[in-house]
Amino acid sequence: MKRIKLLVKVIVPITVVALLVGFKLFFYQQDSDESLLGKYVSTDDPNWVWEFKSDGKLNEYYEGELSDVYYYSIEKTSPQCGFEVDEGPLFKYLVRKNVVNTSEQYCYEIYSMGNEYLQLRYLGGSGFFSFKKTN
């Protein structure tokens, strides 16, 4: 009986800690910005391309020409661009700030950020944007 109580006292805390660490690692991998890296073509306008770089910059192209460069980040807190937004594990926001003029910024709620598509809703407007990953 003592042995069973000792096993319960040792195994249960170890199991709980292992589960917590496992969940934290799983959610960290889901939130990784690295899955965002690459080129995305607008599904509405194939001339409009965003390229997410590993240095934290987003290159915006139109008709093959570089039109702007932005810093980008994935955020989970409120407010974003002056708007109160929902917080929690299901809510993520893409923020992009112009490299030359950092007061020029755009915020989007991320609806989908998978291996193939990036779907966003512009905060402060009714615009939805969908991009398909090309590489």
CATH of residue 70: 2.40.128.280
Residue 22 lies in a domain: no
**Looking at the 3D structure of the chain, how many domains does it have?**
1
Residue 89 lies in a domain: yes
Give the DSSP per-residue string, 61-75. EETTEEEEEEEEEEE
Predicted local distance difference test score (pLDDT) of residue 41: 98
Domain interval for residue 118: 34-134
Write out residues in the chain with pLDDT < 70, as ranges. Answer: 1-33
Amino acid at 132: K
Residue 3 lies in a domain: no
Predicted local distance difference test score (pLDDT) of residue 24: 41
Report if pTM > 0.85: no
Residue 1 lies in a domain: no
